[in-house]
Structure 1
Amino acid sequence: MAVPDVTVVVAVYNTMPYLTACLDSLVGQSLAPGRLEVVAVDDGSTDGGGELLDEYAARHPGLFTVVHQSNSGGPAGPTNRGLELARGRYVLFLGADDWLGEEALERLVTAADAWGSDVVVPKQVGVNGRLVPQGIFHADAESVGFADSALAWALADTKLFRLDLVRRHGLRRDEGLKVFSDQPFTLEACLRAARVSVLASYDCYFLVLREDRGNVTERAGVLDRLRGIAALQQVAVELAEPGEELDAIRARSFGWDVPRLLREGFLLLTADMQERVCVETARLVERFGAREVYHRLPVAERVRLELACAVRPEALRDQVRYEAAHGDPPVVVDGRRQYAGYPAFRDARLGLPDELFLLREEAAEAEVEAAAGPLDLARQLWRGLVPEQVRRGLRRNPAWRRLADSVNGGRG
């Protein structure tokens, strides 16, 4: 039996009527017959989805392999089962409520073969208000990393993976995670990949926000989300290079995933749960060195994280309400420093450091002059009036380099 180019794995649990569009998009792929196989795993659906899978398999022999199993409690189990059955050179995971553009798989396989990619990130489009960060999709890219792109914001498993990479490293989703189990899987694959690429020139993958908000992530509890974030960060600690690569991954979680759990939804939790969320957040911050990337985060996110770390749910509630009512706070000017004037700023009862609220700090005039040097000399310097050996020495000074660029339009 010929090896297909790509296996699409679809984990199915009560996604009607969205499942029909998903399956239709697979039937309608431009990839030639025999180059595609679909492994659909019905995880105990009760809405007729399992029967629909059998109908499509009967109508399209050779395309669909359907597996029925008892409900496992999350998407990791059926996804792993589908992965075990995959035979293609590449594998792509497709949500049962999402769909693919007609040429998506053909273009992805062509790109992966041409670039020698282990992972290809396809252009993704949100449907019905689904939020999909677009930072990484500004152009096709043969090779990207966490330090030089927005890859840290694209950690869902909605990608094309070389199956040999997955098998060689024994990559599987953690079935103990009810949500975000795809992110540690994807992160490990990207960190172990020889090349990660981006196909941004075609709308490949359409992610749907269901009207009933029934998507797995939407209905997940806050503690389940925190456990998923912890699993992601553990992979980062073990495999990412310290420095820019690791910091980019930490900034993703602590600049977005964790702080968003400390917004309006926090107010709806019981008092006991609010305290527990604070305790678990504090553990994450300490365990994974979140404070090392605080300088990358907006002030509001830092403040909410630290109020949680202090286990002050009442102050965190006040912060959330203030942000909802007022938006950006007033700016407090203290000498050369400017601070976000949230109510928690310099509140003696909380004792949060001023640096947490720092927006910007202006350099002293003497410091600017010392760094830049005399302006007349700089003009002479970059007009070629200073000997070349002196110019070469001064070019090693970053301050001189910046000044030269501003005076001479960056021509050195």
Structure 2
Amino acid sequence: MNILLKSAKIFDTNNKDLHLKRRDILIKNGTIEKIAAKIDAPSKVKIIEYPNLHVSIGWFDNSVSFGEPGFEERETIANGLGTAAKSGFTDIVLNPTSHPIPDSSSDIVFLKNAAQGHATTMYPLGCLTVRGEGRDLAELYDMKSAGAVGYYDFKHALENSNLLKIALQYAQNFDGLVMSYPLDLKIAGKGLVNEGEVSTKLGLKGIPSLAEELQIARDLFILEYTGGKLHIPTISTAGSVKLIAEAKKKGLDVSCSVAIHNLFFTDDHLVEFDTHFKTMPPLRAKNDVKALIKGIKDGTIDTVTSDHIPMDIEQKRVEFDNAANGSIGLESAFGGLNTLLDLETTITLLTKGRERFGLDTPNIKEGEKATLTLFDPDFEYTFDANHILSTSKNSMFLGAKLKGKALGIVSNGQIV
């Protein structure tokens, strides 16, 4: 398909000649053929015009969950990738949350084949341990050869310190990225929400910040001993930011992410016992949110993620104690982040992080493959059920006032 984007304001801080300039962009057979102040439309071209059209390199989300195979009632790969595309994401990293859980090369091949032909490209993670049970290492090298971009027992803390040590040592042989979820299970116990004033008022069992920070401290000590590459997903406390900042000053090869909802909401939103706000890690206190935002601005926190976790109604419309953790987040990611931060920071965060997973970052340049996100940063609206594209509807952003809306993507020779 040939596409002409008319009068698009280009947002690309790495290209001073084009950054914040309005240009026409002609795309032929998936490649950017011409960028100019005005391009006359050739025959057989789809013209895209929008009053406040902005364009950046394609957005990237490093923590997305679907359901297929095994939990298709939550989300299929096809609808999930369609949702990601309409939410502005050209590339996503898929968490190992299916059944059977992907812990072998054949599982990775299945997932990659299932995602073929979509505008959004999906990169699967493999489990770090067999069946995600934390006892024996999975087929790390074979999964990387099949296309896995990292190893993660999704939201399951690795209790065996020696197993993490061996994983970090072994993965260095093929530049593998090891991920470790930050939660000390013994300290977290049966906690449901952040331990603090709100949990006390509501009578809910709390998870102290110590549970996250102690696990991170352990993992960083192991990393310092072994070397290798460690990614700590979805941190949530001020202490975690401090620990990771200190580790980076030492020169350790560690990265981390934060979920957008942990920046947007605090545990004050739990007062209605709304299960949409039940997540892991839990929503924390205001001082934690301030520290997380500061960590983003000073570079301690490497990436943000929607931490998109679809859960069907049977998992959410139950008593708070029994409800599953998780919220969908793809559809609200840009609006939520752009409401909190300035546009330059928002787009920088949404476009960075590929290199950590061994992926190339696209460019807005003539002759390059078109991997673009189209968006309107000034559109203000209240997020409601009509904005949800996922099969599951468990969004904590329902009713939130947001600024900024994704319009779609141009990627893999397609426009969505």
TM-score interval w.r.t. the shorter chain? Answer: under 0.3
- TM-score, length basis structure 2: 0.27
Larger strand proportion of the pair: 2
Larger helix proportion of the pair: 1
Larger radius of gyration: 1
